Amino acid sequence: MNFYIKADRFLLDNKEVNDQYLEVCNGRFGSFVDTVSTGDKVVDWSGYTIAPGLFDTHIHGINGYDVMDGTEDAIKEISKAILRLGVTRFLPTTLTSSKADLDLAIKSVSQAVAQGLPGAQSEGIFLEGPYFTEKHKGAQNPGYFRDPNYTEFQRWQRLSDGAIVKIALAPERAGALEFIQQVSKEGVLASIAHTDADYDCCCAAVDAGARNFVHLFNGMSGLHHREPGVAGAALTDSRAFAELICDGHHVHPAVATLAAQVKGEKLLLITDCMLAGLMPDGNYHLGEFPVVMQDGVARTESGSLAGSTLRLIDGVRNLHQWSKRPLYEIWHRGSLSPAASLGRDMELGSIAIGKLADYVVLDENMTVQATAVEGEIKYQKA
């Protein structure tokens, strides 16, 4: 189906376009034009802004559902819930857990995707763990931590029908550098997380192929002027992407702004959202840990932050306000940068000729009015 979108403003990766018509051809973006013919179909969003669909590459759950539930329904419900938040693509994300629970979660994602997701589309599975170290364990269960095992990973990859596209590990564990080399050759994004590695170890991991640091400043050794640590490696190595949770709790706004200035296009916004997202304050769980959410902040019994309840569009809004940078620039840290981290930026993440027509309709308050996947409106505000 071919049609044109009319809107006051379009957010491109390097500028804004105003008062134009955007062509959509068979689910992909076409060209901008000043006028259309009488017989052309026009979807009129005059008074609104069109932005590319957001891409959450690190999300465990939302609205009472979790990837570790191990059910197709959970994946489908997550897919629907995030659509109304402007997210059109996501990576269902696991937690460190037992082999049986990980097997079940991986199979449930593959089966749900095969059946067809009703909202945002999965671009693959993110295995967060179990190859971590205890000092910066966060809400990961250290009882299951172990050294990287490529044979084990291959079994999970077969179980997923090749859907695992990202895995996080601590690079100081035995065999980690060899493991990073192996999975990187297969196109899997090796990521550094929940680690007490020093700066040199992280640099060696990036040399081996690791190209992402998970939730920057959280679950890692911090930046010190005589020992840059994991955070220092993430900030200074231009080859690697760095994820950021911009809820104002995980990272101070000033530090988030600094990270955005230093990393530029290599910064990507994530939520790390768990099942309490969109839910009221109360008692929940993250994996095997009980979690209490108070004032929208989820913590374990020990007081550690337990993922987040952040909506990705709010992370964009926050960083836009904190950094004072143009909205089109910050928006793409939640759309194009995540796609680029996975090598999917030729298909996703921005409004450009030939890319899949995932887009979000925003009002003047950055409230989502509608969300489309490949040109088809999947959510529209009542």
| Phi, psi angle pair for 159, to nearest 5° | -60, -30
Chain centroid, CA 132 distance in Å: 20
Helix, coil or strand: residue 264? helix
CA-closest candidate to residue 206, choices 186, 176, 227 = 176
Cβ-Cβ contacts under 8 Å for 290 (sequence gap 6 or more) = 283, 284, 300, 301
C-alpha count within 13 angstroms, C-beta hemisphere, residue 237: 26
Q: Which residue carries 């044979």 as its tokens? A: 151
Q: Which residue carries 């950021």 as its tokens? A: 244
- Residues comprising the chain, all counted: 382
d(CA 187, CA 206): 15
Helix, coil or strand: residue 304? coil
Helix, coil or strand: residue 355? coil
d(CA 208, CA 158): 24
d(CA 53, CA 335): 6
d(CA 142, CA 106): 20
Cite the active site residues.
Answer: 272
8 Å CB contact between 354 and 29: yes
d(CA 134, CA 143): 9
Cα–Cα distance list, 89 to 26, 85, 118, 134, 264 (Å): 19, 11, 12, 31, 22
8 Å CB contact between 100 and 69: no
Cβ-Cβ contacts under 8 Å for 336 (sequence gap 6 or more) = 13, 52, 265, 345, 348, 349, 350
CA torsion sign for 287, 288, 293, 298 is negative
